[in-house]
Amino acid sequence: MTDAATATAPVKRRTLSGMNPAVGVATVVVVIMAVIYLVGGKDQGLVTQSLVSGLLLGGVYALISVGLTLIFGVLGIVNFAQGAMLTMAMYIVYALSTAGLPVYLATVIAVPLMFVFGMIVQATLLTKLTISGSHDGPLLVTLGLSLLIINVLLMIFGGRPKSVQAPIDGSVSILGAVASWPRVLAFIGAALVAVALTAVLKRTPLGLSIRAVASNSEGAKLVGVDIGRVYALTFGIGAACVAVAGGLMTPFTSLTPSVGEQFTILAFVIVVLGGLGSVVGAVIGGLVIGLVQTVGALFLPGTGSLILVFAVFILVLFLKPEGLYGARR
Amino acid sequence: MKKLVGVLTAVAVMGAAACGSSSGSDDSGSIKIGSVHPTTGALAGVGGLMNDGAALAVADINAAGGISSLEGRQLELVSGDSQGKAEVGQSEAQRLIDEGAVALVGTYQSDVTQNVASVAERSRVPLVIDVAVDDKILDQGYQYSFRMQPNASSMGTDGAKALAAIGQQTGQSIDKVSYLHIEGSFGDSVFNAFEAEAANQGISSVQEITYPATNFSDATTQVREAAVSNPDVIVATGYYPDGLLIAKAVQQLNLKVKGVYGIANGAFDDSSFPAAAGAAGEGVLSANYHFDATSERTNEIRGRFQQQFGRPMETAAMLSYQAVEVIAAGLEDGKDTDPEALRDAISGVSIEDPLLAFDGPIEFDETGQNKNATVIVMQVRDGAVAQVFPAEFATDAIEFPVGAGQ
């Protein structure tokens, strides 16, 4: 018994790391779901509902995390303002929609606005610190920026919860589970952003210079890449991603100036889980965390599901410290 | 050792006495009242409203001639920002007392209030709690804290009674309920009181489902789980964002329930809820303490508040207004600005015609709890929050069952 266990363990580990992480994660998820369906002792419709809700919630998490993973992976900046930037994007969409624009059109306008905002923030506040390689500098600057954004929003909009109605309301039935249209659209948006971002990184000259700067900024500078510009563009893209996230989330979120804060920590968990700088990793990580949180809530009420999220996080880091899609450094 | 303790105690008492006299002896200028609310952070919206409510009360009292038994001395509001954090609230309360506040009002959150109440007790300065529901705050045996609103357990109990009464009045049987509540002492204590009283009221089963206070952005799983036992009514206790998510999820899942019923729910009777929830909000019931919409004085104050601050005066702000009135009544009756004399006067006040829908005047029992605090039931009718139960406070007829269960 003991011999067999020790004999199989290394084999198992080899297959785990050799496999495409997506296949591995999918296998684990399918096995766990099968177990829950068969012996979980829960109503089947309820399990399906939690599965669908979890995937949709995971899509939202993924959307918030892809921008963060880019900033984290390329610039090495721990961007504590990610949640506040998300809130800022939501309020831009709110302001535009109270002016009469439909939410999704307002989102399209908010994206370039946030892109420019991100570029300005990086160029004015962060580039010097990034080049000097300081770690706590950017951390403090983004923390300060986060406080500034939250309090300016509080000053302008007040703290009363605001809401935005989606032009497409109602819900759709997926395998007997109910999913609201705005959440489905957010999920589709997350998938599109992930595909578009991967394409930009892999197939455009900009993507090439971003990847070059990410892997060796000194070398990139020597071959003539304007790294200050790449830094600014990268932060801008990160900000544009949260703009998409914020816009797609406004129809099902109550807006208060601190609403984005709760996502910051989860987004970091997802980014590290997926592997620093990996867009695909952020998407898979987001989906996994969404599923764990929602399906876990069936068995562990209250904060229990969040504890489960952190348990999975620690487990993955233990088995694969570089994250699902991270390169070994 | 004993000597040292004695000396230290004496120094502390003298220090406290010196503080007390420095605030009490200043009998020429205005009388300072400290206000501690979360004016920044996640709860800044309601915190700001509450601070404005207290400010409006001070302005009204001053405009009417100040405290007449003290030669018309004026009141002055000194404000502190708790940021929604217990330790910040505590230091802010201390600061306001050091600046000469003879009484405090606050704070909205139970944990912050608990800390501020201990400061009030130590400094021997009265605290009139406007909003903070947890039973524990007054269970400490504090002498300087007073609360006007019902506590958590009485809200749970009265909520169960009102639900059963609504069932009887409308001829609907209510046997099974599913109860969704936020995790933590607030949700737990309201739920436990409800569960105990529900059994007395003939509600045979109560299913409990809890959700986390943070990172809760989708309620569909929890609401679907609540539906598994085929409840007659879904009951919910929590704050604004989670309450809104629950109402929306009930609608999306198209549940066959007779109604959604909030107890001490931060969303369902908020004036912004009907617009935010849209169709999901229509018919939602809410048992809560509430400003008295049948009172002329209440409506007059709400009208002026809206005009001055450009926002509707929610119940919490009305309670802050009333808390300042309680302190003013204490000053008027006690004819003294010394905090200890003021405490004694407040413990004996009786405020007829309260601004809240209460069963009688505001009077405090020996624990500092308002003896006549009650909940009433509101319902969203045609996109607005109306009072529907009991009949004496009703501004509109109740509709039950509502929605898909009809």
What residue in B sits closest to A56 (Cα-Cα)?
A: B218
Query: Does B33 have pLDDT greater than 50?
Result: yes
Distance from CA of B205 to the nearest CA of A (A): 19
What residue in A sits closest to B214 (Cα-Cα)?
A: A262
Cβ <8 Å between A161 and B42: no
Residues of A in contact with B213 (CB under 8 A): 303
Mode of pairing for the β-strands spanning B145-147 and B176-182: unpaired
DSSP-derived secondary structure letter, A328: P
Nearest to B220 among A169, A178, A253 (CB): A178
Q: Which of residues 262-291 of A touch B (CB under 8 A)?
A: 262-263, 266
Which parts of chain A register pLDDT below 50? 1-17, 329
- pLDDT value of residue A303: 83
The percent of residues above 90 in pLDDT, for chain B, comes to 78
Q: How many CA atoms lie within 13 A of B226 on its CB side?
A: 31
Nearest to B212 among A154, A171, A302 (CB): A302
What residue in B sits closest to A49 (Cα-Cα)?
A: B221
Residue A74: other Cβ atoms inside 10 A: 25
- pLDDT value of residue B404: 46
What residue in A sits closest to B255 (Cα-Cα)?
A: A178
DSSP-derived secondary structure letter, B31: E
Cβ <8 Å between B225 and A298: yes
Secondary structure of A71-112 in the HEC alphabet? Answer: HHHHHCCCCCCHHHHHHHHHHHHHHHHHCCCCHHHHHHHHHH
Cβ <8 Å between B40 and A43: no
Q: CA B338, CA B103: separation in Å to the nearest integer? A: 10
**Are A114 and A81 contacting, i.e. CB atoms less than 8 angstroms apart?**
no
Distance from CA of A155 to the nearest CA of B (A): 10
Q: Max alpha carbon distance in chain A (Å)?
A: 70
Distance from CA of B8 to the nearest CA of A (A): 42
- pLDDT value of residue A24: 82
Q: Which of residues 123-162 of A touch B (CB under 8 A)?
A: 151, 154, 158-162
Q: CA B119, CA B133: separation in Å to the nearest integer? A: 18
The reply to whether A163 touches chain B by the CB within 8 Å rule is: yes
Mode of pairing for the β-strands spanning B376-381 and B285-288: antiparallel
**Are B387 and B294 contacting, i.e. CB atoms less than 8 angstroms apart?**
yes
Six token digits for residue A204: 């455009």
Cβ <8 Å between B228 and A151: no
Of the pLDDT bands very low, low, confident and very high (cuts 50, 70, 90), residue B151 is very high
Q: CA B187, CA B208: separation in Å to the nearest integer? A: 11
Six token digits for residue A299: 């068995």
Under an 8 Å CB criterion, which residues of B touch A?
Answer: 40-49, 183, 209-215, 217-218, 220-222, 224-225, 228, 240-241, 244-245, 248, 252-254, 270, 272, 275-276, 278, 311
Residues of A in contact with B240 (CB under 8 A): 161, 254
- pLDDT value of residue A244: 95
Q: What are phi and psi of B36, to 5 degrees?
A: -115, 115
Query: Does B406 have pLDDT greater than 50?
Result: no
**Are B377 and B385 contacting, i.e. CB atoms less than 8 angstroms apart?**
no
Q: CA B317, CA B319: separation in Å to the nearest integer? A: 5
**Are B78 and B13 contacting, i.e. CB atoms less than 8 angstroms apart?**
no
Per-residue pLDDT of B90-119, as tens digits, reads: 999 999 999 999 999 999 988 899 999 999
- pLDDT value of residue A13: 40
Lowest pLDDT segment from A284-298, B19-33, B364-378 = B19-33
**Are B247 and B281 contacting, i.e. CB atoms less than 8 angstroms apart?**
yes
Q: CA A265, CA A271: separation in Å to the nearest integer? A: 10
**Are A69 and A282 contacting, i.e. CB atoms less than 8 angstroms apart?**
yes
**Are B243 and A61 contacting, i.e. CB atoms less than 8 angstroms apart?**
no
What residue in B sits closest to A176 (Cα-Cα)?
A: B253
Reported ipTM: 0.85
Query: Exposed/middle/buried for A245, CB within 10 Å: 0-12, 13-18, 19+?
Result: buried
Of the two residues B139 and A131, the one the predictor is more confident about is: B139
Distance from CA of A302 to the nearest CA of B (A): 4
Six token digits for residue B222: 């929890």
- pLDDT value of residue B25: 42
Nearest to B241 among A46, A161, A305 (CB): A161
Residues of A in contact with B191 (CB under 8 A): none
- pLDDT value of residue B292: 94
Q: What is the mean pLDDT of residues B249-258?
A: 89
Distance from CA of A321 to the nearest CA of B (A): 25
- pLDDT value of residue B28: 66
- pLDDT value of residue A327: 62
**Number of helices (H) and strands (E), helices first, in chain B?**
13, 12
Query: Exposed/middle/buried for A132, CB within 10 Å: 0-12, 13-18, 19+?
Result: exposed
Q: CA A62, CA A290: separation in Å to the nearest integer? A: 9
Query: Does B307 have pLDDT greater than 50?
Result: yes
Q: What is the mean pLDDT of residues B338-355?
A: 94
Per-residue pLDDT of B281-304, as tens digits, reads: 999 999 999 999 999 999 999 999
Of the two residues B58 and A220, the one the predictor is more confident about is: B58
- pLDDT value of residue A44: 84
Q: How many CA atoms lie within 13 A of B180 on its CB side?
A: 33
Q: For residue B402, which of B243, B187, B233, B184 has the smallest C-alpha distance?
A: B233
Q: CA B372, CA A19: separation in Å to the nearest integer? A: 68
Between the CA of residue B72 and those of A312, B27, B119, B133, B343, what are the distances in Å?
66, 11, 29, 34, 20
Which residues are paired to A316 by β-bridges?
none
Per-residue pLDDT of A193-211, as tens digits, reads: 989 999 999 999 999 999 8
- pLDDT value of residue B26: 53
Query: Exposed/middle/buried for B195, CB within 10 Å: 0-12, 13-18, 19+?
Result: middle
Residues of A in contact with B254 (CB under 8 A): 178
Q: CA A212, CA A30: separation in Å to the nearest integer? A: 37
Q: For residue B156, which of B109, B203, B117 has the smallest C-alpha distance?
A: B203
Of the pLDDT bands very low, low, confident and very high (cuts 50, 70, 90), residue B5 is low
- pLDDT value of residue B27: 60
Six token digits for residue B339: 């905090």
DSSP-derived secondary structure letter, A126: I
Nearest to A161 among B45, B213, B220 (CB): B45
DSSP-derived secondary structure letter, A124: I
Residues of B in contact with A261 (CB under 8 A): 42
DSSP-derived secondary structure letter, B393: G
pTM score of the predicted model: 0.86
Q: How many CA atoms lie within 13 A of A152 on its CB side?
A: 12
What residue in B sits closest to A155 (Cα-Cα)?
A: B40
Q: For residue B236, which of B256, B265, B215, B257 has the smallest C-alpha distance?
A: B265
